[in-house]
Copies of this chain bind each other. A is one copy, B any other.
Amino acid sequence: MPRKPSPDARERILDVATRLFTAHGVHAVGMQQVIDEFGCGKNLLYREFAGKDDLVVAYLTRCRDTWACMYEQAGVGREDDPAGHLVALVELTAAKVLEPDYRGCGIHNTHAEFPDPAHPAHKVAAEHFATMRERLLDLATRAGARDPETLTDRILLIIEGIYTNGLAQGRNGAARAAGAFAEEVVRSALADRSA
């Protein structure tokens, strides 16, 4: 047993792929480009990933985990404040727009790039959207909104508006208004209880 395959190759390739896919879009990036950028042989990449579709799915999975991490982060210290968690999540999303090289949500971008519902990438993205909605709905419910569905819809509109508008208009776009907006929306949804 003379030699061991490097165990983190998959992750390191995925790092490169994530950067390229995010920056240029999935369609615009060729496998050769990923390989060149990473500096490995084609051998290694095709051993770690069955094909481009597989690589894209892995990319989306990572994006999903990143979002889950963000969700988690927004909840830290707010375990008993689901309303604050909601607002913090919106603020975190809005803050991402300010990052240099902001390129929107990789999942949404990729979802738009693969309209075919049968494509694996499309399915992964669709799943993510569903769970995203569930988690927001859970927060809205626990926050005690009179109509959690509507609050969820509104927060979703704001969050996805941030993604899209941030991509379209950059740091001078609508994202700056999102935090206060979300706060007001949540407050209003809670106040409705007494109505």
Q: A: which residues have CB within 8 A of B?
A: 23-25, 27-28, 103-104, 108-109, 111-116, 125-126, 129-130, 133, 149-150, 152-154, 156-165, 167-169, 173-174, 176-178, 180-181, 184, 188
Interface of A is mostly: helix
Q: Which of B152, B157, B168, B174 meets A126, CB within 8 Å?
A: B168
Contact of A165 among B150, B157, B177 (CB under 8 A): B157
Whole-angstrom CA separation of A133 from B169 in the bound complex: 9
- What residues of chain B lie closer than 8 Å to A114, measured between beta carbons? 25
Nearest CB of chain B from residue A24's CB, rounded to whole Å: 6
By a CB distance below 8 angstroms, the chain B residues around A153 are: 173-174, 176-178, 181
Select which of B130, B177, B188 is within 8 A of A157 by beta carbon. B177
Q: A129–B169 Cα gap in the complex (Å)?
A: 7
With A165-B160, A174-B154 in contact, do A115 and B103 touch (Cβ < 8 Å)? yes
CB-CB under 8 A from A28, the residues of chain B are 27, 115
Do A113 and B113 form a contact, CB below 8 Å, given A154-B174, A160-B160, A160-B164?
Answer: yes
**B115-A112 in contact (CB<8A):** no
Q: Across the two chains, which residue of chain B brings its CB closest to A181?
A: B154
Distance in angstroms from A97 CB to nearest chain B CB is 11
Kindly identify which residue among B24, B111, B157, B173 contacts A181, using a CB–CB cutoff of 8 Å.
B157
